Amino acid sequence: DQQVKQNSPSLSVQEGRISILNCDYTNSMFDYFLWYKKYPAEGPTFLISISSIKDKNEDGRFTVFLNKSAKHLSLHIVPSQPGDSAVYFCAASPYSGGGADGLTFGKGTHLIIQP
């Protein structure tokens, strides 16, 4: 049973436009959500996070939105740049401190930025 779902295996976006990556979860105990970015042959790199007490967190070109009632979060990247091409993983934790011991990952979305 997949508790964190990223239903789009891949997404293609034109450079300069907005990229929107979606993530749904089923476990209502999840309290902290994170996005990781992964290039080939590298480990995942932390990108941005959000606590369940918030509905939005912004860091430069990256914004994460959380709709707790819908159990849905999204990552917005604007404007999209070629270097953003990577696999993006959504992850969730039942611990408000975001303890990595309890991270559950989605399957990832491969974002491709077209020039």
Positions in the binding site for other proteins (CB under 8 A): 4, 6, 9, 32, 34, 36, 41-46, 49, 89, 91, 93, 95, 97-108
Residue whose CB is less far from other proteins, 8 or 79: 8
- Give the three-class secondary structure for 100: helix
Beta-bridge partners for 4: 25
Both tokens assigned to 56: 């939005």
Q: Is the peptide bond before 94 cis (omega within 30 degrees of 0)?
A: no
The distance of closest approach from Cβ of residue 41 to other proteins in the complex, given in angstroms and rounded to an integer, is: 7
The distance of closest approach from Cβ of residue 56 to other proteins in the complex, given in angstroms and rounded to an integer, is: 16
